[in-house]
Chain A
Amino acid sequence: MYDVVIIGAGVSGSSIARELSRYNANVCVLEKCDDVCEGTTKANSAIVHAGFDAAEGSLMAKLNVKGNEMMDEICKDLDVPFKRNGSMVVCIHEEALDGLKELYDRGVKNGVKGLRILSREEALEMEPNLSDNTCGALYAPTGGIICPFKLNIAMAENANVNGVEFRFNTEVEAIKKGEDGLWHLRTNNGEYITKYVVNAAGVYADKFHNMVSEKKIHITPRRGDYCLLDKEAGTHVTHTIFPQPTKLGKGVLVTPTVHGNLLVGPTAIDIDDREGVNTTADGINDVIAKANDHVKNLPLRKVITSFAGLRAHEDGHEFIIEEVADAPHFIDCAGIESPGLSASPAIGVMVADMLKEKMGLTNKEKWIGTRKDILNPENLSLEERNELIKKNPAYGNIICRCESISEGEILDAIHRPLGARTLDGVKRRTRAGMGRCQAGFCSPKTMEIIHRELGIPYEKITKSGGSSNIVMERTKNQKGGQM
């Protein structure tokens, strides 16, 4: 029996898990996929919003601003790449300049620090590739860029090191309050019994909420298509460039990523399929057209991949983080759409505080609050790197040429807590396969390492769990062979 079961190992679930790991409690995270960071957290804008966008007084605004403020420390503690590059909301129509002022006022009320309205000249001086139509911009120095994979992975790893269990490939099918007064979660991997449930299930959060409550909520998967550009295009802009927001969201942005690529997107398309992460030609074309409105000369020939992610848009467009009124001991963490990533550190604290109070949790005697990421040898001097290779020759063997990732880094990714077992798992932890050739050269080599280290047969190695096998069978296997 657990004290708390968290459904979902995305950035919300993992942040809650890490915060809860401070206390003496028996905590388990159930994740239907093969790894952490497989849902909304893996495909988004990878930015930390300043917090001027969310409605004044909303939980969204409060947690965004708080999460933003917490980000430096948590990223330092967990060794996650984060950079405050600053963001700009660019106005390209004179008559819309008032909108910038509104946004500025809202930001000030939300507690966003350092906001400034820039003239056309100031904006262009800071960002020479802004549209010629630029008439002004709102500048938010606290805006930042982050690696969402690493933040999610780091939180989960750190939670795990502090005793939180993670169960992957474990999908919750039903939730019932037992006669013992405890929650009984039926999964494909047996039953889990717990005092408290935290529902951090992203686009599925309504499904679980509605299993236990008469007051239904409804989440719409809102798809966002993105294009990722080569690092050669990574300095086309240095700030995160937004258009002015509309009802449908913050619009198509152009931003450098913390790893040096350029990211353009997203669209905002409401769909029915909660796994519908397929891009469409219309979506991609729309992204490209809209990005060009605010940033000129985008080098779109340098696109290395496109992808889509789903926002968990709740009908009320507000984070729902509370104990469900008619289901005591069931805590919702639902409707976590943008700025969910930015808010995630604050979401973790909020839910953990709630549980601490309700359950009377006490601090662990020994809690490890820091974690080292996989070593990035690129930050070492030639001498230091030589020392490292002498100690561990695997760091001298480059596997991914595009991102310069060595075997040493991949071995670390596989053998650390909650280590990688799939190609995508290796990719999100090390960036091997994330570069311009998109894993063309390194995937056979990475497969060889996974096979050797984990004893997984080649035919069973997957891209990201489930039936995503890379190869089917050995050659010369005549079983299915027909001419």
Chain B
Amino acid sequence: MTNYDIVIVGGGPAGLAAAVSARKAGVEKILILERDKELGGILNQCIHNGFGLHTFKEELTGPEYAYRFIEQVLDAKIEYKLNTMVMDISEDRVVTAMSREDGMYQIKAGAVILAMGCRERPRGALNIPGYRPAGIFSAGTAQRLVNIEGYMPGREVVILGSGDIGLIMARRMTLEGAKVKVVAELMPYSGGLKRNIVQCLDDFNIPLKLSHTVVDIEGKEHLTAVTIAAVDNKGKPIPGTEERYTCDTLLLSCGLIPENELSRNAGVEMSNITSGPIVNESLETNIPGVFACGNVLHVHDLVDYVSEEATRAGENAAKFINGQLKESNGEDIEIIATEGARYTVPSTINVDRMDDKLTVRFRVGAVFKNSYVSVYFDDERVMHNKKRIMAPGEMEQVILLKDKLAAKPDLKKITVKIEAE
């Protein structure tokens, strides 16, 4: 069994940023394990621009953004293995991996950083009735076929779900000569970024039908048509509102699910809301020395935030290796998300271990206009920030300061909520 200080599972944006920051913090033996044939993760198929506005103050394409980090990994001579699947992570941080070249082998890791990303919710999980013909793809699979493999799934497209990949693919398919007839979204609001709705749908006159879903799929061998209907406020289709669209392609962009099978098998405690690990202020899971960042932790809206979060995970893993990450004294402060706030990452804070400034990220559960993000220390409201608009498709954040928290030694819980005034 070989030994590494830090093993990073996944060479996408999260894994890359974590590796770079851990190296900057002085960790020598770092290994990135990547299942695909190149580093960069899903960014490699995201050939549109708009990445990196926060991190680099310029608009990059996905592969360009990834390369900014790949370059740093190469410069720092951080080891990585491609075409390598991690098969298991044990509670005592033994990582079992496999590849054509190296066979199956085990690595003892001082610390593990989980950076496996997420997958798309498949058709089956949506319980859409109808036939199961060819021509139905998750938006990301179609994106790979078009952008990497160079093949068109079809010519007449309907998209269900308005997640960002679906919106991006509406534009992509249009630019490749396909006709995107409609984007249907079950919820009364879009799951994607506002800028994507404008740039990918509005600019191409593609209609977005909110509170609509697919109620039937036709075609015994290949897709021939789908039927869309309006839904009531419980998400149930309203009879009489059906509209039939002939099409040969149905793309699904109905949510992303963090890929945590490895984490679960390792015994990492999970959140029912994010489907990602429950982490503390150091982005450490319930297993000491196992950290998580990026979309495996919670699904992000912008890759910039993934990089930022992963940088912190890398730093904290480095601290752990060097014995600088204090053991939790058990007096963690719980962060409770309620009244409009669905979850927070992290979900506990140990003041001793926190940095001077801690960014707490969360998402809201509905669209809020002219409302306030409020933070309570126990029953005392300490923050009350007005936001013109908040939507589930975009992440929100609050910043907590260590000295403020340290001033309240008896603090038991922090509450994050959305208030009307």
Contacts and interface: CB of A to CB of B under 8 A. Distances in A.
A281 B124 CA distance: 13
Question: Would you list the 6 A-B pairs with minimal beta carbon distance, nearest first?
Answer: A481-B177, A305-B124, A438-B122, A468-B134, A471-B151, A393-B100
A276 to B, nearest CB: 9
A466 B129 contact: no
Contact of B145 (A227, A281, A444, A463): A444
Interface stretch (A160-168, A198-206, A347-355, A384-392): A384-392
B224 to A, nearest CB: 10
A482 to B, nearest CB: 6
Interface stretch (B213-221, B305-313, B362-370, B395-403): B213-221
Contacts of A481: 176-177
Interface string A352-374: 00000000000000000000000
B125 A463 contact: no
> How big is chain B's contact interface, by range?
35 or more
Interface stretch (A116-124, A413-421, A472-480): A472-480
B151 A469 contact: no
Interface stretch (A133-141, A312-320, A327-335, A397-405): A397-405
Nearest to A466: B221
A483 interface: yes
B56 interface: no
B131 A277 contact: yes
A397 B83 contact: yes
Contacts of A280: 129
9 contacts: A437-B120, A438-B124, A440-B138, A468-B222, A471-B151, A472-B153, A472-B154, A477-B152, A481-B177
Contacts of B132: 277, 307
B151 A459 contact: yes
Contacts of A478: 177
Contact of B123 (A232, A305, A448, A470): A305
B119 A389 contact: no
Given A465-B221, A471-B149, 14 more contacts: A304-B125, A382-B106, A394-B100, A397-B100, A436-B122, A437-B119, A437-B138, A440-B140, A444-B141, A467-B221, A468-B134, A475-B152, A480-B155, A482-B177
B101, B131, B179 interface centre (most CB from chain A within 10 Å): B131
Nearest to A402: B261
Contact of B153 (A436, A437, A471, A476): A471
A396 interface: yes
A108 interface: no
Contacts of A284: 127, 129
A304 B130 contact: no
A280 B128 CA distance: 8
Given A303-B124, A401-B85, A462-B134, A396 B100 contact: yes
A227 B127 contact: yes
A476 B153 CA distance: 13
B281 interface: no
B221 A398 contact: no
A374 to B, nearest CB: 18
Interface string B90-102: 0000001011111
B346 interface: no
A234 interface: no
B122 A472 contact: no
B240 to A, nearest CB: 15
A444 B125 CA distance: 20
Interface of A: 227-228, 232, 275, 277-281, 283-284, 303-307, 382, 385-386, 389-390, 393-394, 396-398, 401-402, 404, 436-441, 443-444, 447-448, 458-459, 462-478, 480-483
Interface in B64-111: 83, 85, 87, 96, 98-106
B353 interface: no
B359 interface: no
A253 B112 CA distance: 42
Given A303-B125, A440-B122, A478-B177, A385 B152 contact: no
B177 A441 contact: no
B104 A480 contact: no
A472 B179 CA distance: 14
Given A389-B100, A394-B100, A443-B141, A474 B177 contact: no
B210 interface: no
A44 to B, nearest CB: 15
Contacts of A475: 146, 150-152, 176
Contact of B104 (A386, A436, A441, A476): A386
B63 interface: no
A203 to B, nearest CB: 14
Nearest to B85: A398
B221 A470 contact: no
B149 A444 contact: yes
Nearest to A278: B131
A474 B129 contact: no
B294 interface: no
B390 to A, nearest CB: 26
B23 interface: no
A401 to B, nearest CB: 7
B35 interface: yes
A385 B103 contact: yes
A305 B145 contact: no
Contacts of B176: 475-476, 481
A436 B257 CA distance: 10
B207 interface: no
A481 B83 CA distance: 36
B129 A279 contact: yes
B249 to A, nearest CB: 9
A304 B103 contact: no
Contact of B151 (A227, A393, A474): A474
B152 A278 contact: no
B267 interface: no
A271 to B, nearest CB: 13
